[in-house]
Chains A and B, each alone.
Chain A
Amino acid sequence: MAAKRKPGWWKRKLLVAIAVLVVLAAVGGGFTWYKFFREEPQPDWITKDPDMRFKYGSIGAERDAGMPYWIFYVLPRMFPEKLPRPGGWAALGVSWEQGQELPIGFTKKVVGFPRVANNCASCHAASYRKSPDENPTFVGSGPGHTLNLVGLFRFFVDCAKDPRFNADNLMREIKLVTDLSWIDRQIYRFLLIPITKKRLLERENQFAWIYRKDFPDWGRGRDDAMNLTKYFLLKLPMDDSVGPTDIPSIWNLKKYDRQGTTMNWAGDSHDAYSVIIDSALGVIGAAPKNKDEFLEQVKWLQQYLREKAPPKFPFPINEKLAGAGQAVFEANCATCHASDKTGKRMLLDAVGTDPERIWTWNKDNAIAANKVVGGFGIERKGLVETPLEGYNAPFLDGLWLRAPYLHNGSVPTLRDLLTPPEKRPKVFWRGYDVYDPVNVGFVSQGAEAQRVGTKHDTGERAGSNRGHAFGTNLPPAEKDALIEYLKMR
């Protein structure tokens, strides 16, 4: 047969075939890029306003840690029994402004398809109410004292483990809320849903410690930060340490400019730049795709947070009493909390608070973590490569909104903190956002606090309210004055 063909026939055929293949590959590549990788910028109302950007702006976490939007949307509807109480995502104590599609700290961005991920504000936004009959006020960069982060982590894993988490069921639920094109339905059914399930299940081992019955629940407003770093960034096997601590406020970072200050509860990181990088990497969950873009983002955050002022106490202050309290403060507190020692580590024995947080981290971990981040090509001062010996003496800016107190949030109010440790509340409820201006802290007892909050038992591991007995022997009048003064810090 071939003998009868004109010379060059095969060549022509081959060229045509190659041309067809090239076109097909280009179309396929274009399709794949468009449907899975193209990035659309977030809308102006987010990117143009710094406060909105902090609350809702992408930090690039959608690429690797982003959940397909419609899966995120239907999970609480499909698996409400895995949430701590009714309320969808709100049941997890997220800070959610009325009228907003997503809670603060939850970012929506199109990377091929709309995805939901997180930014710093998911943990660092605080809500308070002056009375139960009032809507909450949200303070970006405040401590997310209502957030049930462990509940959120467990919810994702628990959903993925449920056999009902399959394409048929999810697609049926998604069909009730949106009208996807045929192609997008196939993408969800055959790719996004199975891949999401797989990715969530992969985390189960790394999250093993949050399921341990012999460990305390983090409860609202706390996270076991160094263990998260060990099991996710360093991928270490589970050890026996546990140390949930309060989610901190991150406003007014310029206070750390002073030479020799360290950050985090145990002073385990050198500077704000390093902490932001490390925390952001935790949220992104992978090496940043574009290092320069990532570091730009970090620098913006640092600049924003350096200048972000702590919020003023929202109730009236007795100025005369506060004036008297200032003297008490100078005499009793200033040595550690308003001096050259502030923002630096104290020896644990000198303060005597619960030690377990310190035991969740060590010098080797710091060296290893610095190496991993260095491996991404990121230069930073990083984690402190020495053994930890105690907790930082914290700055007290915006103290009123940073309740409960001590690194592990074991003391509900300032008044309780000025009470001898053995007389402090042994059991209370965290995460209710109605404020108690008399004792300075959130309401932590009573029916509503119990319904909304999570129980903190100071008898549980890492939860002790001991130590920091300073000022507990002051006469009552001086305590009142001191508390009044601290409202102004």
Chain B
Amino acid sequence: MTATDPAHPATGKQSWLARLAQKRWAGWLIALLVLPTLGLIVLGLYVAFVLMEDEPVVYANIEEHFKYGSTGGERESGFPYWLFQVLPRVCALHLPGPGYASLGMIFEEGKALPVGMSRRRYQGVDRTFLNCAGCHTSTVRDSPEAKPRLYLGMPANTFNLWAFQKFLFDCAKDPKLAAEYVVPEIDRLMREKGERLGLVDRYLVYPVAVAIVRERLLMLRGRFEPLLPYPEWGPGRVDTFNAAKVLFNFPLGALSEAEKNGPSDFPSIWLQQPRKGKQLHWDGNNSVVEERNKSAAFGTGTTPPTIDLVAIGRVEKWLLTVEPAKYPYTIDPAGASRGAAIYERYCASCHGANGRDFSGGLVGKVTPIKDIGTDRRRLDTYTYDLAVNQSMLYAGYPWRFQHFRKTFGYANMPLDGVWLRAPYLHNGSVPSLRELFEPASKRPKVFYRGNDVYDPKKVGFVSGVPAQGGKTFFKFDTSVAGNANTGHEGKAYGTELSPQDKDALVEYLKTF
């Protein structure tokens, strides 16, 4: 309504606004009105900036990316970075030893996070969560004194996911998971690292984060609770598909007894290209690599809207062709060549021509449970009801899950890098290859899992030692439900071969 407005020709009379502007205190009034507005705008911009923050730590090198890169899981499921780092201090009581290493997580020199955890700044908070390497990377040592060598893509033989989960659940119940304990620990830890806890983080972000993390963990604990009294999985194993049921919020307590707790070994994940179209997972319940990968990515905390498909795509692509490391100990060529003939006769049709060529009529197909005769608990944890629910996952996206199928046996696996995949059978109930060729009655009834010292004679990890170098290993009892070491035995499975032939076969399998 100014005088220059052509629609409102000047009238000679001044408007009330113009008169107001002539008062002496008008400046103050305007300042009073304008300053808070400016403040609000600045605050709004700051909040908008914070909410838009989404920066993963990026690694150009694919192996580093596999070990420490993000799957996008931190966005929805990430722990605030510093909270995660102080949990072992705050909840030390609930850990078997010092730090996350006591759960079998692997720390490379100079790294603050273990292999298999990534870091991303998301909505103003640095967050961390598991990635693929958490369950698919481990170490091998030649002797108890030797330095561990890291092998990417092998089953996380030492990582005790069960204990990791239990630690988090127990910590959530502990009154110490409160800002009063957590924030000062963060302050101290950051000072040790030469960093400072900012005011916003100290008074807003972390106190709120502690409450949210506790609430989330208690929610998860509540969902898992009916299965917590069941036998511990031990390192290197996970009850995969009951975790999937938690995703759908199936009340686990009301599941049939047969489907409660069926832990199985983490698998190796090399050479996915030649696996395409084959039945994947121990029971062969899916035959599309990309779908299986996205399914596994739920375990790294992703949700359909928050998964980082670009970052995961890099890993996916790399895994198509990455090969397992060669057997690092000596192989007797004469034995191996004798073993090759035996392998051809007994094993090739189900397990592939060799460690790289997965051809064979039954490779990647399911052998009915009554024929294979191995422990059926893992099979029974996967139900038809779960399979159909999974086909709702990623609804609205072009890659909605469509290939999950209930099966009634276990799939015949290719054996690339089989030396790194001990213990054997889907439930990891047989410590070494040599022992797998014995009938179940002669396989070890009790042994120890979680040691990374290799036994080149039996081909597997040392399994007869309960403790070593301050570490206690997991006592694996094959009489526990889910742990049976039966099956994969009889004439067709080579358990009736002569000891010399078995040795030769083992020698050959070292070349895989």
A residues neighboring B (CB under 8 Å): 1, 4, 69, 73, 76-78, 80-81, 85-91, 96-103, 114, 133-136, 175-179, 451
Cα–Cα distance between A78 and B369 once the two chains are bound (Å):
35
Q: Are A176 and B392 in contact (CB under 8 A)?
A: no
A135 touches B251 (CB 8 A): no
Q: Is B9 touching A177 in the complex (CB atoms < 8 A)?
A: no
B15 contacts the other chain (Cβ, under 8 Å)?
no
Q: Is B76 an interface residue (CB 8 A)?
A: yes
Q: Count B interface residues, CB 8 Å.
A: 35
Complex Cα distance, B388 from A122, in Å, reads 16
Indicate if the CB atoms of B403 and A85 lie closer than 8 Å.
Answer: no
- Within 240-271 of B, Cβ neighbours of A (below 8 Å) are at 245, 248-252, 254-256
A99 touches B391 (CB 8 A): yes
CB of B395 within 8 A of CB of A135, answer no
CB of A86 within 8 A of CB of B305, answer: no
Most chain A beta-carbon contacts within 10 A, residue among B9, B304, B385, B400: B385
Distance between Cα atoms of A134 and B255 in the complex (Å): 20
Q: Is the interface of A mostly helix, strand, loop or mixed?
A: loop
Cβ-based interface call for B389 (8 A):
yes
Do the beta carbons of A73 and B405 come within 8 Å of each other? no
- The proximity string for B residues 415-450 relative to A, scoring 1 for CB distances below 8 Å and 0 otherwise, is 000000000000000000000000000000000000
Assembled-state Cα–Cα distance A451/B250 (Å): 16
Inter-subunit contact A135/B396 (CB<8 Å) = no
Q: How many Å from the CB of B372 to the closest CB on chain A?
A: 13
Known contacts A73-B392, A134-B408; A87/B11 CB under 8 A: no
CB neighbours of A86 from chain B (8 A): 245, 250-252, 254-255, 385
Knowing A90-B385, A135-B384, A451-B256, the reply to whether A99 touches B368 (Cβ < 8 A) is: no
Question: Is A133 a contact partner of B369 (Cβ separation < 8 A)?
Answer: yes
Across-interface contacts of B403 in A (CB, < 8 A): 99
Asked if A88 and B406 sit within 8 Å, CB to CB, the answer is no
With a 10 A CB-CB cut-off, give which of A73, A101, A134 has the most chain B CB atoms: A101
A88:B389 contact, CB within 8 angstroms: yes
Q: Complex: how many Å from CA A237 to CA B414?
A: 66
Q: Which residues of A contact B395 (CB under 8 A)?
A: 69, 73, 101, 177-178
Q: A86-B385, A96-B388, A99-B404 are in contact. Are A133 and B368 (CB under 8 A)?
A: yes
What are 28 contact pairs spanning A and B, CB under 8 A?
A76-B249, A78-B249, A85-B254, A86-B254, A87-B250, A87-B383, A87-B386, A88-B385, A88-B389, A90-B384, A91-B385, A96-B388, A98-B387, A98-B391, A98-B404, A99-B404, A101-B391, A101-B395, A133-B368, A133-B369, A134-B408, A135-B405, A136-B384, A176-B303, A177-B305, A177-B395, A178-B396, A179-B304
A288 to B325 alpha-carbon distance, docked (Å): 67
Tell me, in angstroms, the Cα distance from A135 to B384 when the chains sit together: 8
Q: 5 tightest CB-CB pairs across the interface, nearest first?
A: A86-B250, A87-B385, A179-B305, A90-B385, A96-B388
Q: How far is B409's CA from A133's CA once the two chains are assembled, in angstroms? A: 9
Q: Is there an interface contact between B76 and A176, defined as CB atoms closer than 8 Å?
A: yes
**Is B396 in contact with A88, judged by CB distance below 8 angstroms?**
no
**Closest-CB distance, A176 to chain B (whole angstroms):** 5
Asked if B402 is at the interface of the complex by the 8 Å CB criterion, the answer is yes
Residues on B with C-beta less than 8 A from A133 are 368-369, 408
- If A99-B402, A133-B369 touch, whether A177 touches B303 (CB-CB below 8 Å) is yes
Instruction: Enumerate chain B residues within 8 angstroms of A80, measured Cβ to Cβ.
Output: 248-251
> How far is the CB of A14 from the nearest CB of chain B, in Å?
15
Residues of B within 8 A of A136 (CB): 384
How far is it, in angstroms, between the C-alpha of A184 and the C-alpha of B313 when the chains are bound?
29
Shortest B325–chain A CB gap in Å is: 37
Chain A residues whose C-beta falls within 8 Å of the C-beta of B396 in the assembled complex:
114, 178
Cα of A89 to Cα of B369 in the assembled complex, Å: 28
A136 to B404, CA, bound (A): 15
Could you tell me if A100 and B391 are in contact, using CB atoms closer than 8 angstroms? yes
| Cα distance A4–B10 in the bound complex, in angstroms | 11
In contact, B388 and A90 (Cβ under 8 angstroms): yes
Cβ–Cβ < 8 Å partners of B9 in chain A: 4
Please, how many angstroms separate the alpha-carbon atoms of A444 and B224 in the complex?
Answer: 32
Are A98 and B254 interface neighbours, CB within 8 A?
no
A85-B254, A90-B389, A135-B384 as given contacts; A178 in contact with B305, CB under 8 Å: yes
A465→B277 CA distance, assembly (Å): 51
**Complex interface: chain B residues within 8 A of A89 (CB):** 389
| CA of A97 to CA of B408, assembled, Å | 17
Identity of the chain A residue whose Cβ is nearest the Cβ of B389 in the assembled complex: A88
> Cα distance A320–B379 when bound, in Å?
41
Closest to A96 in B: B388
Residues on A with beta carbons closer than 8 Å to the beta carbon of B305:
175-179
CB neighbours of B249 from chain A (8 A)? 76-78, 80
Residue-wise, chain B 7-48 has the 8 Å CB interface mask toward A (1 for contact) of: 001010000000000000000000000000000000000000
Alpha-carbon separation in the docked complex, A4 to B12 (Å):
13
Known: A81-B251, A86-B245, A98-B388. 18 other contacts (CB 8 A): A80-B251, A86-B250, A86-B252, A87-B383, A87-B389, A90-B385, A91-B385, A98-B391, A99-B391, A101-B395, A133-B368, A133-B369, A135-B405, A135-B406, A176-B76, A177-B304, A177-B395, A178-B395
Chain B residues positioned under 8 Å from A81 (CB to CB): 251
Chain A residues in 8 Å Cβ range of B406: 98, 135
Bound together, the chains give a CA A177 to CA B76 distance in angstroms of 11
Residues of B within 8 A of A134 (CB): 408
Q: Considering only CB atoms, which chain A residue lies closest to B8 in the complex?
A: A1
Q: Taking CB as reference atom, which chain B residue is nearest A94?
A: B388
B348-394 interface (Cβ within 8 A of A): 368-369, 383-389, 391-392
Nearest-neighbour CB distance to chain B for A143, whole angstroms, equals 20
Smallest CB-CB separation from A79: which chain B residue? Answer: B249
CB contacts (< 8 Å) of A90 on chain B: these are 384-385, 388-389
When C-beta atoms are compared, the residue in chain B nearest to A4 turns out to be B9
Complex formed: what's the CA distance from A96 to B390 in Å? 12
The smallest beta-carbon distance between A178 and chain B, in angstroms, is 5
A416 to B387: give the CA distance in the assembly, Å: 35
Contact between B250 and A88 (Cβ–Cβ < 8 Å)? yes
Q: How far is the CA of A73 from the CA of B383 in the complex (A)?
A: 20
B-side contacts of A73, CB under 8 Å:
392, 395
Contacts of A77 in B (CB 8 A): 248-249
Cα A100 to Cα B385 with chains together (Å): 12
